[in-house]
Structure 1
């Protein structure tokens, strides 16, 4: 049995994870952390407003809360040697360094998107980038529900950074306004917000007289919830280190 501490348990992703765990006899949510008073009363496990010594023991922490809580959460996990799954997006460069340092003490799994399909999409984009070369312009368009706070999405940024790692000359432009031609080596990143869109990501390679589009569509958050639980089960058996979707899929 995998005992889980779920941060952001009353949010959209937390709710999806709770629903899946309720159907899985190999997992149990021991407690949740959330500041939403109304939603806390509807949970079937104890919900606390913050981390502390009164939290029930857990085998792994799954975090879909907010970036502001990350540093304190990392410290709490390190003190108790608890593996940490980070699904929170909008993490700063400084916070990434905190995660990297902490990974020498505990296993940490971080992914801006817990979908297997997104991992494959990124790998396909790298193949296309190498094959098509600099004669093809790259644009990334992401669409999410009206309530999503961060723009662009962590997934769009992750894809863009993977492409830039393969070609250091590339740089990012976020949306466009005014009168200016597209620059060589530019990756345009565009955000759309509306309705209840769970998550859509599109990568456009536009060349002379032809274009190639790679896309991923998530019909519900259950896709990400399944990925997070899979990562949590896997991470609970890993030594200290920093892990990503590639480690989960390849091993």
Structure 2
């Protein structure tokens, strides 16, 4: 049995994880961490990592970047594998994650959907073939409560595209004013509204043809199942930084 700690257990994704975990074998949530201590969950919930007494095999984090520093210290101190699903980290925080991964295994992905990560690799191939004759635009849509914009997933896809282009490119966030589009631009557009779970579309617009690659999340369950799959993977690894490509052997 893999004993799991959920960071952000009282949040939206925390609740989805708890529900989906009941469908799985060989993995159990034994404790939670959340700033909101009002909980009727069937396991203890803590607001201080140092108070956690349970025997933990792996941690899944769907919380907030403000938790990162104390979370990494806890993981490194106890040598606990971490599945890091939170987005919106600063460049300095990314460096903290990389540093901590030298001491304990960390699985870090901007999107826990298997489909998104397969699409990322398809986009790498498509970009190498299409970039010379096509303009590339990224459109992402999320619910009105999402705080970071553009989404971590949009950057996951966008960075994969940019790394596939030998020329220097740059993001253009939205468009306004009076000027022509430049070839080096990768358009990045964010929409927020209602209860949209998550939708990402990459458009390759060429002369007389358009190619569109799109992924739509119909529920948050896909992110939970991806996180649990990552948890089962990371508990078997040595210290290091891992992602979906490693797990899926892409």
Shorter-chain TM-score: which interval?
A: over 0.9
C-alpha distance in structure 1 between counterparts of 2:202 and 2:73, whole Å: 37
How many angstroms apart in 1 are the aligned matches of 2:162 and 2:2? 38
Task: Tell whether 2:60 aligns with 1:94.
Answer: no
Match of 1:31 in 2: 31
Compute the displacement of 1:130 (Å). 1.0
SS at the partner of 2:49?
A: coil
Q: Which runs of 5+ in 1 are unaligned?
A: none
Query: In 2, Cα distance between the equivalents of 1:138 and 1:129?
Result: 9
Question: Contact (CA 8 Å) 2:138, 2:187: kept in 1 or not?
Answer: yes
Distance 2:12 2:178 in 1: 39
Q: Distance in 2 between matches of 1:133 and 1:89?
A: 28
Segments of 5+ residues of structure 2 without an aligned counterpart are none
Name segments (4+ residues, structure 1) moved above 6 Å.
none
1:83-232 mapped onto 2 (5 Å cutoff): 83-167=81-165, 168-232=167-231
SS at match of 1:209: coil
Give 1:9 deviation, angstroms.
0.7
Per the TM alignment, residue 64 of structure 1 is displaced from its structure 2 partner at its CA by: 0.6
CA RMSD of aligned residues (A): 1.2
- Matches of 2:74 and 2:164, distance apart in 1: 36
Give the match's secondary structure for 1:187.
strand
| C-alpha contact (below 8 Å) 1:31/1:55 kept by paired residues | no
How far 1:54 sits from its partner (Å)?
3.3
Q: 1:80 aligns with which of 78, 81, 91?
A: 78
Q: CA deviation at 1:123?
A: 1.0
What is the CA distance between 1:2 and its match in structure 2? 0.5
Length, aligned pairs only: 249
Q: Deviations over 1:75-99 (max 9, x none)?
A: 1100000001100000111111111
Q: Does 1:233 align with 2:232?
A: yes
Contact conserved, 2:10 with 2:39, CA < 8 A, in 1?
Answer: no
Contact 2:46/2:52 (8 A) holds in 1: no
